[in-house]
């Protein structure tokens, strides 16, 4: 049962909701039914050399001095 992020078209607020099967969420702020599911960036934990734990978010670079969004951009 995943937790999704939604945007309420009625009041304009974003919220998270635990969704069961085909359940339609309602806005926690105004109880509106006109909500849109947002694209969420998932986070993950990776082990670096030497066993160090680093936290990453999808779409962020794994290189400390790189501004590319993937290692394909900098060659690492």
Residue-level pLDDT at 19: 86
Tokens of 31: 């109880």
Q: Tell me the pTM.
A: 0.52
Q: Which residues span the domain enclosing 50?
A: 1-56
pLDDT in tens, the chain (76 residues): 678 899 999 999 999 999 888 888 999 999 999 999 998 766 666 666 666 655 554 444 445 555 555 555 555 5
Residue-level pLDDT at 51: 62
Considering the domain boundaries, does residue 22 fall inside one?
yes
The tally of domains found in the chain comes to 1
Residue-level pLDDT at 49: 66
Residue-level pLDDT at 6: 94
Spatial separation of the C-alpha atoms in residues 37 and 32, rounded to whole Å: 14
């Amino acid at each position: 049962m995943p937790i999704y992020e939604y945007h309420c078209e009625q009041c304009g607020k974003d919220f998270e909701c635990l969704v069961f099967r085909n359940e339609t969420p309602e806005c926690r702020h105004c109880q509106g039914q006109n909500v849109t599911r947002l694209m969420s960036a998932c986070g993950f934990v990776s082990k670096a050399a030497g066993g160090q734990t680093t936290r990453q978010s999808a779409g962020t670079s794994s290189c400390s001095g790189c501004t590319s969004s993937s290692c394909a951009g900098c060659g690492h």
